[in-house]
Amino acid sequence: MKPIQVGLLGVGTVGSGTFKVLARNQNEIKSRAGRGIAITMVADLDVARAQAVVGAGVTVVADARAVIANPEIDIVVELIGGYGIARQLVLEAIAAGKHVVTANKALLAVHGTEIFAAAHARGVMVAFEAAVAGGIPIIKALREGLAANSIQWIAGIINGTTNFILSEMRDKGLDFGVALKDAQRLGYAEADPTFDIEGVDAAHKATLMSAIAFGIPVQFDKAHVEGITQLAATDIKYAEQLGYRIKLLGITKRTPQGIELRVHPSLVPAKRLIANVEGAMNAVMVNGDAVGTTLYYGKGAGAEPTASAVIADLVDITRLHTADAAQRVPHLAFHPDAMSDLRVLPMSEVVTSYYLRLRVADEAGVLAQVTGIVADAGISIDAVLQREADEVGGEGGATEGTQGVPQTDLIILTHDTREGTMNAAIARMQALPSVLAPITRIRKEELA
Amino acid sequence: MKPIQVGLLGVGTVGSGTFKVLARNQNEIKSRAGRGIAITMVADLDVARAQAVVGAGVTVVADARAVIANPEIDIVVELIGGYGIARQLVLEAIAAGKHVVTANKALLAVHGTEIFAAAHARGVMVAFEAAVAGGIPIIKALREGLAANSIQWIAGIINGTTNFILSEMRDKGLDFGVALKDAQRLGYAEADPTFDIEGVDAAHKATLMSAIAFGIPVQFDKAHVEGITQLAATDIKYAEQLGYRIKLLGITKRTPQGIELRVHPSLVPAKRLIANVEGAMNAVMVNGDAVGTTLYYGKGAGAEPTASAVIADLVDITRLHTADAAQRVPHLAFHPDAMSDLRVLPMSEVVTSYYLRLRVADEAGVLAQVTGIVADAGISIDAVLQREADEVGGEGGATEGTQGVPQTDLIILTHDTREGTMNAAIARMQALPSVLAPITRIRKEELA
């Protein structure tokens, strides 16, 4: 049987990696898939560079639509990225009856409902293992491996750039800005790192996992998105002293009131495996009612790890392109007529625990004032740490403030609290004359 | 459409868990599978107990063959265990055209070739996600999620009983016998723990992963099997001082000479995630040429975690029972006509690094004699640690021996060495008059 014919849109890092891995492992892949898989046509604006990557045997065009229009092509791999032309091309490929593989988490998190509906109507598959956590087969684990479970929650380090920066900040005691520059110099962060450091990329991925886990539509607009740009070395150090690490987590959780979907820095107990995931690595914890807590770890980005996921999708499609809809895994794990209408909760309704740091005047009565407000709000305190001048170094410690007032850091860990309640309590504390700087609030997840 | 009909053989821990999870999550499972999944008949020698578990709506029989003979049953789940009657029943179910789900690693590691060939010939699926690492979807990750890769190696903590015992030994400084008794008292080890503590269970699982990873037949008889019964608290303590933990690993590895397949205690760098997997938890590291190193963690046993895997297989079969062979994933990942004939290496040809502990006479010249033998054999030393009387506590330290000779412990870490070469060197060292006790040898894996 002749190989299944694949057309690539975009021959950048992942496209080149996909071509390379398919060529290198073609025998093994064919032995698994039962049929060869061949990239026979690629589209890239830089035709000469693309031709150099794929060699003389592959047709290279500048116009992606020529790939979609080619009746020989069975599967289109979209590696252009972004919401714009990529959306158009994916919809056109579907309309042309092509199966689609994409690594484009932004596209699917925002336009997934439209795209999956079109694919369902046309009877083609849209596969996206590469869109979340690179080479880690987390989409397959969620959609198939854990199919027995009522998923309870997912918490993942799903952005390598920010995890690299946080590792650097902790290892070297750096503040965010310095660590970001290091990451850019070493190629772990892009020149414009906004999508990574502001948590948007992680939120795209969390949105996809949330939909698959709970059977809800993709709802990126409902996600709470908070990055790591406000994190100070001080808080990483205090967290460490309290037995925690700070990680940027993508979290989605089932509650009786609805689904939580949020990305923000989180304190995580240092003894958890996920707290020890360092550098640009990714890891996703999944808790199911039957299986308990599982964890999946690996490289979340890079040419060949991402290619590994793209090709796994190509193998699945090679097996199932002749199958009927009932024989295929539904795009969002649940059959379209059996989706859930669970609502995504606004952040004010999320319940979690908190780390608070208050820069306060080092004078009698301040602790009583602060804890009085906390108690009034019905918030239960887990631990309080007051750092005097001789106990801390650097700017985080007790120092003479600009007004000459002796200052100290007051750190409070709370038990589970509704975010809206916490917001109100923080506002009251912030208004105290003895609170000298904006209060730092970082959420805390025990992940037990 | 009426639910797919499942017959259970054996309503013990896993059988009860499977029934319970299927009942509890039936709506979600149906929404994923596209069709209901119902256990409608079960066989168990204790009919009354089984009936109490499954309730009045399910037919309970004592004779497993009545389930197999029932034309309404689509899938038979074998949860009897062992190589004996289970093999007969699985082959009979296949012959009757039933799909089979089994958690029986022993059966498949020993009789897999016969069983998979029968299933292939009859056109039915034999699914076994539950046979390795309980609820962790590692079979699916290996067979499908990592299908792009030339797998390089797998190293896993795949026996919870021994990992629990090792955690206890390290935490509490216990010797093996005491920790085993604790594990039995707490229900983590069976009354006859032989299969677990001697490494047989882990070797069954490693054998299955090896076949799937490398496309070779299951060859349990070629596995090197070594348990934890000889481990002393002393070695766990020395390993710790050198920056390592001791874990019972199931390892399978591709080398230019053939496939390594071995189970034995291993020193693992303490900073690796897998070194921090404690208690009865399981974790499997998989290294592929494209994806790099990935890790999968979760509960490796227990009623509901194992049921999670059994039901995932039921969902897959529900989707694919009407599919043709080309649309299904091959039993051993590779199509039967594309299996590899890579040989499994005898242990003497395995290359790894070593931890050696020698109880020696505390006198001049001993270190030179020992390291002379190591050098003669062409073995490169990574580190040497000599523990004098005041540096160690307990029986591992330098003490007055029974003959009144002052004794000390000499610990050597080597670089990569062929096991045959190491065996010969150990024999020579053991023959030295100044070596006062049997030499302890534990293999070391960097897992980098």
CA distance B192 to chain A (A): 26
Asked if A315 and B29 come within 8 Å (Cβ–Cβ), the reply is: no
Helix (H, G, I), strand (E, B) or coil at A289: coil
Contacts of B134 in chain A (CB under 8 A): 291
The pLDDT confidence band at residue B387, using thresholds 50, 70 and 90, is: confident
The pLDDT confidence band at residue B402, using thresholds 50, 70 and 90, is: low
- Asked if A75 and A90 touch (Cβ cutoff 8 Å), the reply is no
- Which helix (H) or strand (E) segment holds residue A407: the answer is strand A407-414
Report the alpha-carbon angle B264-B267-B268, nearest 5.
115
Chain B CA closest to residue A32: B334
- Which helix (H) or strand (E) segment holds residue A427: the answer is helix A419-430
Percent of residues, chain B, with pLDDT higher than 90: 95
B321 CB neighbour count, 10 Å cutoff? 16
End-to-end CA distance of chain A: 51
- Which helix (H) or strand (E) segment holds residue A41: the answer is strand A37-43
Confidence check: pLDDT of A375 > 80? yes
pLDDT of A387 reads 83
Q: Who among B33, B294, B339 is closest to A297 (CB)?
A: B294
The pLDDT confidence band at residue B399, using thresholds 50, 70 and 90, is: low
Please say if A30 is a catalytic residue: no
Q: Who among A21, A22, A294 is closest to B297 (CB)?
A: A294
End-to-end CA distance of chain B: 51
Nearest to B440 by CA among B432, B430, B431, B388: B430
Give the Cα separation of B351 and B346 in Å (integer). Answer: 11
Mean per-residue pLDDT of chain A = 95
Percent of residues, chain A, with pLDDT higher than 70: 96
pLDDT single digits (tens) A82-107 = 999 999 999 999 999 999 999 999 99
Beta-bridged to residue B41, according to DSSP, are B7, B59
SS (H, E, C) chain B: CCCEEEEEECCCHHHHHHHHHHHHCHHHHHHHHCCCEEEEEEECCCHHHHHHHHCCCCEEECCHHHHHHCCCCCEEEECCCCCCHHHHHHHHHHHCCCEEEECCHHHHHHHHHHHHHHHHHHCCCEECHHHCCCCCCHHHHHHHHCCCCCEEEEEEECCHHHHHHHHHHHHHCCCHHHHHHHHHHCCCCCCCCHHHHCCHHHHHHHHHHHHHHHCCCCCHHHCEECCCCCCCHHHHHHHHHCCEEEEEEEEEEEECCEEEEEEEEEEEECCCHHHHCCCCEEEEEEEECCCEEEEEEEECCCHHHHHHHHHHHHHHHHHHCCCCHHHCCCCCCCCHHHCCCCCECCHHHCEEEEEEEEEEECCCCHHHHHHHHHHHCCCCEEEEEEECHHHCCHHHCCCECCCCCEEEEEEEEECCEEHHHHHHHHHHHHCCCCECCCCEEEEECCCC
Q: Which amino acid, one-letter code, is at B235?
A: D
Q: Who among B32, B147, B310 is closest to A311 (CB)?
A: B147
pLDDT single digits (tens) B112-157 = 999 999 999 999 999 999 999 999 999 999 999 999 999 999 999 9
The pLDDT confidence band at residue A405, using thresholds 50, 70 and 90, is: confident
Confidence check: pLDDT of A394 > 50? no
Strands A75-78 and A99-102, sheet pairing? parallel
Chain B CA closest to residue A314: B148
Say which of B140, B205, B299, B444 is annotated catalytic: B205
Give the Cα separation of B60 and B53 in Å (integer). Answer: 10
Length of chain A, in residues: 448
Q: Who among B28, B137, B292 is closest to A150 (CB)?
A: B28
Give the Cα separation of A213 and A154 in Å (integer). Answer: 8
A310 CB neighbour count, 10 Å cutoff? 29
Asked if A330 and B215 come within 8 Å (Cβ–Cβ), the reply is: no
Give the Cα separation of A132 and A145 in Å (integer). Answer: 16
Give the Cα separation of B265 and B228 in Å (integer). Answer: 6
The pLDDT confidence band at residue A392, using thresholds 50, 70 and 90, is: very low
pLDDT of A202 reads 98
| Region of residue A8 (left: phi > 0; alpha: psi -120 to 50; beta: else) | beta
**Domain boundaries defined on chain B:** 4-136+303-338, 138-299, 352-444
Report the alpha-carbon angle A7-B338-A137, nearest 5.
55
Contacts of B335 in chain A (CB under 8 A): 31-32, 34
pLDDT single digits (tens) A269-313 = 999 999 999 999 999 999 999 999 999 999 999 999 999 999 999
Q: Which range (A192-206, B79-93, B396-410) has the least confidence?
A: B396-410
Asked if A298 and B297 come within 8 Å (Cβ–Cβ), the reply is: no
pLDDT of B403 reads 57
Confidence check: pLDDT of A400 > 70? no
Contacts of B294 in chain A (CB under 8 A): 135-136, 296-299
**B4-9 sheet: strands from edge to edge:** B59-61, B37-43, B4-9, B75-78, B99-102, B126-127
Helix (H, G, I), strand (E, B) or coil at A57: coil
Confidence check: pLDDT of B82 > 80? yes
pLDDT of B325 reads 92
Query: In CATH terms, is domain A4-135+303-338 a member of 3.50.50.60?
Result: no
**Binding site: residue ranges of B?**
9-16, 105, 190
Contacts of A33 in chain B (CB under 8 A): 147
Nearest to A303 by CA among A24, A65, A55, A7: A24
Q: Who among B134, B146, B316 is closest to A137 (CB)?
A: B146
Asked if A147 and B323 come within 8 Å (Cβ–Cβ), the reply is: no
Judge whether A240 is annotated as a binding position.
Answer: no
Average the pLDDT over B341-353 and give the result.
97
Say which of A20, A140, A181, A205 is annotated catalytic: A205
Q: Which range (A196-200, B306-310, B363-367) has the least confidence?
A: B363-367
Nearest to A247 by CA among A261, A227, A223: A227
Report the alpha-carbon angle A31-A37-A39, nearest 5.
155
Asked if A292 and B273 come within 8 Å (Cβ–Cβ), the reply is: no
Q: Which of A26, A28, A271 should be substituted to probe chain B, the one whose Cβ sees the most B Cβ atoms within 10 Å?
A: A28
The pLDDT confidence band at residue B42, using thresholds 50, 70 and 90, is: very high
pLDDT of B390 reads 42
Give the Cα separation of B370 and B389 in Å (integer). Answer: 20
Contacts of A339 in chain B (CB under 8 A): 31
Q: Which of A136, A142, A291 should be substituted to probe chain B, the one whose Cβ sees the most B Cβ atoms within 10 Å?
A: A291
pLDDT single digits (tens) A194-221 = 999 999 999 999 999 999 999 999 999 9
Contacts of A304 in chain B (CB under 8 A): 289-292
Average the pLDDT over A232-252 and give the result.
96
- Asked if B389 and B398 touch (Cβ cutoff 8 Å), the reply is yes
Query: In CATH terms, is domain B138-299 a member of 3.30.360.10?
Result: yes
- Asked if A132 and A158 touch (Cβ cutoff 8 Å), the reply is yes
B347 CB neighbour count, 10 Å cutoff? 17
Number of A–B residue contacts, CB under 8 Å: 231
**Binding site for NADPH: residue ranges of B?**
105
B/e letters for A379-410, b = 16+ CB within 10 Å, e = fewer, are beeeeeebbeeeebeeebbbbeeeeeeebbbb
pLDDT of B400 reads 54
Contacts of B334 in chain A (CB under 8 A): 28, 31-32
What Å distances lie between residue A304 and A4, B27, B150, B158, CA to CA?
A: 21, 38, 12, 28
Confidence check: pLDDT of B159 > 50? yes
Chain A CA closest to residue B273: A273
pLDDT single digits (tens) B195-253 = 999 999 999 999 999 999 999 999 999 999 999 999 999 999 999 999 999 999 999 99
Chain A CA closest to residue B321: A327
pLDDT of B405 reads 78
Report the alpha-carbon angle A129-B295-A31, nearest 5.
60
**CATH fold group of domain A352-444:** Alpha-Beta Plaits (3.30.70)
Judge whether A363 is annotated as a binding position.
Answer: no
Average the pLDDT over B347-374 and give the result.
96
Confidence check: pLDDT of A1 > 90? no
CA distance A306 to chain B (A): 7
- CATH fit for domain B4-136+303-338, picks 1.20.1090.10, 3.30.450.20, 1.10.10.10, 3.40.50.720: 3.40.50.720
Percent of residues, chain A, with pLDDT higher than 90: 95
Nearest to B389 by CA among B401, B375, B381, B376: B401
Chain A CA closest to residue B294: A298
Contacts of A132 in chain B (CB under 8 A): none
Give the Cα separation of B121 and A165 in Å (integer). Answer: 54
Q: Which of A14, A26, A308 should be substituted to probe chain B, the one whose Cβ sees the most B Cβ atoms within 10 Å?
A: A308
Judge whether A200 is annotated as a binding position.
Answer: no
Nearest to B395 by CA among B408, B386, B384, B382: B408
Judge whether A181 is annotated as a binding position.
Answer: no
Mean per-residue pLDDT of chain B = 95
pLDDT single digits (tens) B255-274 = 999 999 999 999 999 999 99
Q: Who among A141, A273, A296 is closest to B276 (CB)?
A: A273
Average the pLDDT over B33-43 and give the result.
98
